[in-house]
């Protein structure tokens, strides 16, 4: 799936819908840590992961851009460090000029005002004034794999990010995840519309029937599946 198709396919899908879809399809749900947040609201990013391990210098980012394609998303592994910011305005400008869709950082950023002015979507764990004072050897796989919290990502992954955070999906299963997420989204929209018209969620989910069936070992999720409801998976 090329960058343009990824954008078109995922533009109306939220990270919660994608997480529910992965769960439904028995795909491991890989979300960035909860502290990885966008610098401003209303962002939506979807693109192939361009993994990068930060080692104390911006040269690794420039090298990553040499390997990137327009539409990729720079995913920066700085081990969640809280003693340095690893991405600032010049890196963001270069990433934007290279045609990438955004930056997701497991770590900190700086130059917040300038980043907002640049307008390239950036997610990080927070702001910190000081840049790195260290310089460590670059691992052999620094441009092949990145760790984001508990999860390992590569260029074989898609990242989608919005106001709720970031989620990683195997590129090879992107189409089926998108289809499942769209069904969940449409079901929830229909449920919300019915609630607005006066039909409660308990009525829509036949909650009284579930309470009766619970004695026979039926879980709420099993009950919802029988109704094609998407509140939980």
225 compared with 232, residue with greater pLDDT = 225
Q: What rounded mean pLDDT belongs to the chain?
A: 94
Q: Are residues 106 and 81 in contact, defined by beta-carbon separation less than 8 angstroms?
A: no
Residue among 31, 3, 7 at smallest CA distance from 17: 31
pLDDT of residue 181: 96
φ/ψ of residue 73, rounded to 5: -125, 125
Instruction: Indicate the pTM of the whole model.
Output: 0.91
Distance CA 40, CA 96 (A): 17
When mean pLDDT is compared across 53-67, 96-110, 182-196, the lowest value belongs to 182-196
Q: Which residues are annotated as a binding site for substrate?
A: 88-91, 110
Q: Collapsing DSSP states into helix, strand and coil, what is residue 66?
A: helix
Integer CA distances (angstroms), 206 to 13, 73, 224, in order: 27, 43, 9
Q: What is the pLDDT of residue 131?
A: 95
What is 36-52 written as a DSSP string? -EESSTT--EEEEEEEE
Question: Which pLDDT score, from 0 to 100, does residue 149 have?
Answer: 98
% of the chain with per-residue pLDDT over 70: 97
Lookup result for tokens 């040499």: 66
Tens-place pLDDT, residues 120-155: 999 999 999 999 999 999 999 999 999 999 999 999
Instruction: Please tell me the distance from the alpha carbon of residue 78 to that of residue 81, in angstroms, as a whole number.
Output: 6
Domains of the chain by range and CATH? 3-172 (3.50.30.40), 177-227 (no CATH)
Question: Token digits for 181?
Answer: 């997420």
Which pLDDT score, from 0 to 100, does residue 1 have? 76
CA end-to-end distance (rounded Å), the chain: 27
pLDDT at 233: 47
Mind listing the pLDDT tens digit for each residue in 195-222?
999 999 999 889 998 998 898 899 988 8
Q: Could you list the residues known to form a binding site, using ranges.
A: 88-91, 110-111
Distance CA 54, CA 73 (A): 15
DSSP letter for each residue of 129-190: S-------PPPTTTTT-EEETTEEE-TTEEEEEETTEEEEEEGGGHHHHHHHHHHHHHHHHH
Binding-site residues for Mg(2+), in ranges, read 111
- Under the banding of pLDDT at 50, 70 and 90, the label for residue 165 is very high
């Amino acid at each position: 799936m090329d960058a343009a198709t990824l954008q078109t396919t995922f533009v109306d899908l939220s990270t919660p819908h994608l997480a529910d879809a992965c769960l439904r399809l028995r795909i491991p749900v890989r979300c960035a840590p909860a502290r990885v947040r966008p610098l401003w609201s209303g962002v939506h990013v979807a693109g192939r992961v361009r993994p990068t391990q930060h080692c104390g210098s911006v040269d690794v980012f420039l090298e990553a851009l040499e390997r990137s394609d327009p539409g990729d998303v720079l995913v920066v592994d700085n081990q969640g460090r809280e003693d340095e910011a690893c991405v600032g305005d010049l890196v963001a400008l270069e990433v934007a000029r290279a045609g990438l869709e955004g930056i997701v950082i497991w770590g900190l950023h700086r130059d917040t005002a300038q980043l907002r002015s640049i307008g390239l979507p950036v997610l990080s764990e927070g702001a910190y004034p000081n840049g790195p004072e260290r310089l460590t050897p670059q691992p052999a796989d620094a441009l092949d794999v990145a760790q984001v919290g508990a999860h390992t990502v590569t260029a074989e992954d898609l990242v989608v990010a919005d106001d709720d955070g970031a989620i990683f999906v195997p590129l090879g299963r992107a189409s089926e995840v998108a289809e499942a997420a769209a069904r969940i989204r449409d079901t929830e929209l229909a449920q919300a519309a019915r609630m607005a018209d006066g039909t409660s969620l308990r009525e829509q989910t036949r909650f009284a029937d579930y309470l009766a069936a619970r004695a026979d070992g039926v879980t709420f999720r099993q009950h919802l599946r029988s109704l094609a409801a998407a509140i939980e998976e």
